[in-house]
A and B are shown apart, each in its own frame.
Chain A
């Protein structure tokens, strides 16, 4: 099974739910487990939320999300053209947050890493950030 998706949304917090729901629904045809669905929903939610609150600092912007399904491997990219990440290694540390004055837990990247098989973070200060996440779904029971 091969398929692709493209979703472009304004950086509004109301769109977080929409984006993760669409990304999970993209897989319905290949019958993922409930656990796989919920892991993907959570990881996508983390990346999209980061684009909105960190990338665009809760201001205006566009978040572009793609999905690509090839057999039972799914790849998502979440791209913003926001402020970028100056120190990616530091940002990926568990519990690190660049916004300690707000109620961020600093767990976003750790969750993406734990719930997906591969996570690539590409970022350039002033240009934006692209997150690529890959997950290999388990074989169907039937």
Chain B
């Protein structure tokens, strides 16, 4: 896992790797929350290109980050997701709350479009 800052978008980019379950989602939660607070970012993008598996613990983790950034007026982007992960995101209704896109750029475009007036 790797976190980088995209200051122009007030965004942190989280590159998750491997399998996201109850065991591994705890570290993602902790590090992502810490970086949001440290950097002052309000948006979080997750690169899921190297995620090979996710279960409902990942859904809970994404929902938790959604709540954090919503309170800050920000958005969650998840991009480059596998069919398996996409199916879970759809099943859980998370699709209504977060932006799921093919690439980071498409996600950012959608974020800036849906946001309208920026705060």
Contact = CB atoms under 8 A, between A and B. Distances in A.
Interface of A: 13-14, 16-17, 35, 38, 41-42, 45-46, 49, 52-53, 102-108, 110-111, 114
B25 interface: yes
B80 interface: no
Secondary structure class of chain B's binding surface, majority of residues: helix
B112 to A, nearest CB: 28
Contacts, number: 60
B36 interface: no
A105 B91 contact: no
Q: In the complex, which range does the number of interface residues on chain B fall in? A: 20 to 34
A42 B83 CA distance: 13
Given A38-B84, A42-B55, A45-B55, A110 B91 contact: yes
Interface of B: 19, 21-23, 25, 29, 53, 55-57, 59-61, 63-64, 83-84, 88, 91-92
A49 B84 contact: no
A103 B60 contact: yes
Contacts of B22: 13, 16, 49, 52-53
